[in-house]
Every structure is written in structure tokens, then in C-alpha cells.
Amino acid sequence: QLQLQESGSGLVKPSQTLSLTCAVSGGSLSTGAYSWSWIRQTPGRGLEWIGYIYHTGSTYYSPSLESRVTISIDRSKNQFSLNLTSVTAADTAVYYCVRGGTAPTYFDFWGQGTLVTVSS
Amino acid sequence: DIQMTQSPSTLSASVGDRVTITCRASQSISSWLAWYQQKPGKAPKLLIYKASNLHSGVPSRFSGSGSGTEFTLTISSLQPDDFATYYCQQYSNYYTFGQGTKLDIK
């Protein structure tokens, strides 16, 4: 059974970089049929897709976040990561790592989510 | 950006009721629409993809319909486990979600 588990700092200072990792078990990131996304959720803005990566390393980002986002993949560890730079309080959210298909795609497996708070 | 608007925002219903949630897209998305269910403190779960296809393991009381700009999610006979928040999501042009419909007990 596929499982996705987010980890990383739960508290980030404004202007710093938010870093999260998603460990994948029960399946391989190297399978070509899937994309690996980060999606966040806030009470005010709801669910927001951040971007995804394929096993090849190709990435696609939300235009509204593209200038601050990097998603990377580590096939040897079967995990992928999110870096979001220059964070503000508006980046406070629950962050989910999520599996989808090849584009265009819906999202069929979600991690449990991790709360990241941006505060000094 | 394609905007997704759900109605109603909140829906009160009873066990056994038939309920319908509507999702409208700001421009045509063909059938590139998914529906999710989310319970408090949990991640969303996929219910339906490509507007009307039931995801594996989802009960048949859930159904979806529509194309273009107007879509519906119907639960034919509400069960206690169905009280949750429901989201639509378009995947025609990037990915955007509706604001959610909270289904609570009347």
C-alpha cells in the first residue's frame, strides 16, 4: 500500500526558506506513470497546488509561486522535496505531498499533511 | 487562472437524503474535473475523476456528472460517514480547487 510521509521544520522565520521532504513507501518514485506534487491548504485560500516533479526530474510549478519554489527528487532515497524561499505569514499552511498521474492529472494518494507556521 | 466556484458553501442534510453539490468553472474545462472528500484533520480523498468516473473503492452512492463549465456531485443516500467537506478540482489548465462545500447533519 502506497504511503507518503511529510517531514521538515514546522516553524520557519519570515524571509527564510521552508524545506519539506516526502518519503514514499510501498511504491517507487521511479515509476514513469506518476507525478509527485506538493499542495498546501489554508483556511483562507483553501487548497493550492504548488508544483510537481516527474521521475525524470522535470518540474512544473504554479505560476503564482514559480519564482520561489524548487521541487527536487532523490531516487536513491525514494523521496522528493520542496523548497520555498522568502516565506511570509501567508505561507503558513498545511503542506501535503501527493501522487498524481501524468498531466493533466487528478491526485489519487495524499500524505497526512504537515503544518508549517511562518513566524518570528 | 481558471476559477472554480462551488455551491452551496454549507449544506445541512439527514441520513438517507439525496444531496447534490454544484461546481462551476470560469471557463470550459471539458471533463477535466475531480471531486474530493475531506474530514477534519485528514487529507482529501479522491472520489471521482474525469467528471463521472468513480475512483477505486468509492461507494456507488457517489456519482458525478457534467462537462464544460457546470458539474455536479450527487450522493444518492447519505450515510453517517459522508458528513465532510467536498472539493472540486479542475485539471484542464494547471490545477485549481473550489472553495469547498461543508455537508453537515441537519
Q: What is the pLDDT of residues A51-109, one digit of tens each?
A: 999 999 999 999 999 999 999 999 999 999 999 999 999 999 999 999 999 888 999 99
> Does B46 contact A at CB distance below 8 Å?
yes
Indicate the pairing of strand B101-105 with strand B85-90. Answer: antiparallel
Prior bond of B44 cis (ω within 30°): no
Q: Please tell me which of the candidates B34, B96, B98 has its beta carbon nearest to residue A106.
A: B34
Query: Stretch A6-30: mean pLDDT, rounded?
Result: 96
CB contact under 8 A, B43 and A46: no
- Is the sign of the CA dihedral B62, A1, A53, A64 positive or negative? positive
The share of chain A scoring above pLDDT 90, in percent, equals 91
For chain A, the residues whose C-beta falls within 8 A of a C-beta of chain B are: 46-49, 62-63, 96, 103-108, 110-113
Contact partners, residue A60, CB within 8 Å, separation at least 6:
A51, A52, A53, A103
Q: Please name which of B14, B31, B13 lies closest in space to residue B70, comparing C-alpha atoms.
A: B31
Contact partners, residue A119, CB within 8 Å, separation at least 6:
A11, A13, A14, A89, A92
What is the structure's pLDDT at A92? 98
Give the C-alpha separation, B46 to B35, whole Å: 6
pLDDT per position in chain B (106 positions), as tens?
A: 999 999 999 999 999 999 999 999 999 999 999 999 999 999 999 999 999 999 999 999 999 999 999 999 999 999 999 999 999 999 999 999 999 999 999 9
What is the structure's pLDDT at B96? 98
For residue A43, name the pLDDT band (cuts at 50, 70, 90). Answer: confident
Q: Please name the helix (run of DSSP H) or strand (run of DSSP E) that holds residue B20, with its range, or none.
A: strand B19-25
CB contact under 8 A, A113 and B43: yes
